[in-house]
């Protein structure tokens, strides 16, 4: 049932949001040289690496690490990129990954391919069995502000509590967090 909800939600999102997706793609391209989408190598279900699309929020040539690890992140983030990150609009192309089956609407956020500490801790707690999500329980409980052990604790809590009702609660919480920009460090 969860997969059917994912497919229906992703299709509806892509169709309904297509005008916004096109406008954002054009704005990203106009603001700085490079493609509109950045394909990030992410860790998926059972620790399989997959390409995940996002609207590009950083300048071409930025280091391929988590933004919070950059000593001068503001140097790399484009002005539009900051807005896209605060509002989570940069995540909308991931509806394609949901439709494709690499992701779910709700689950733990996919780790970067080089976040070995996060991947190891998630594997230890069985969270690697879950399909990563466009949003998740940790996302609405702190996002970037959470230390890795707390993030994994919340991911494990999601694993234990998962249900369609809990997923819908998380989706509504995500909309609220995205509009407020709460929890985004860069």
More confident site: 100 or 179: 100
Global pTM value = 0.87
Q: Which of 1-10, 82-91, 174-183 has the lowest mean pLDDT?
A: 174-183
Q: Are 181 and 152 in contact (CB under 8 A)?
A: no
* pLDDT tens-digit series, residues 113-149: 989 999 999 999 999 999 999 999 998 998 778 899 9
Task: Provide the residue ranges of all domains of the chain, joining segments of one domain with +.
Answer: 2-180
CB neighbour burial string for 92-124, b if at least 16 within 10 angstroms, e if fewer: bbbbbbbbeebbbbbbbbbbbeebeebbebbee
DSSP letter assigned to residue 114: T
pLDDT in tens, 75-86: 778 889 989 988
Q: How confident is the model at residue 30 (pLDDT cuts 50, 70, 90)?
A: very high
DSSP code at position 110: P
Name the residue among 183, 181, 172, 178 with its Cα closest to residue 9: 172
Nearest residue to 92 (alpha-carbon basis) of 156, 168, 2, 9 = 9
């Amino acid at each position: 049932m969860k997969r059917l909800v994912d497919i229906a939600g992703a299709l509806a999102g892509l169709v309904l949001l297509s005008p916004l997706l096109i406008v954002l793609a054009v704005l990203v391209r106009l603001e700085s040289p490079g493609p509109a989408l950045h394909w990030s190598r992410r860790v998926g279900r059972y620790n399989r690496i997959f390409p995940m699309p996002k609207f590009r929020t950083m300048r071409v040539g930025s280091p391929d690490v988590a933004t919070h690890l950059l000593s001068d992140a503001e140097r790399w983030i484009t002005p539009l990129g900051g807005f896209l990150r605060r509002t989570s609009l940069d995540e909308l192309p991931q509806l394609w990954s949901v439709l494709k089956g690499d992701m779910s609407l709700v689950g733990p956020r996919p780790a970067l391919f080089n976040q070995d500490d996060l991947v190891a801790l998630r594997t230890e707690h069985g969270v690697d069995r879950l399909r990563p999500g466009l949003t998740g329980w940790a996302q609405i409980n702190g996002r970037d502000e959470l230390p890795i052990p707390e993030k994994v604790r919340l991911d494990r809590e999601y694993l234990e509590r998962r249900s369609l009702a809990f997923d819908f609660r998380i989706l509504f919480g995500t909309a609220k967090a995205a509009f407020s920009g709460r929890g985004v460090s860069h």
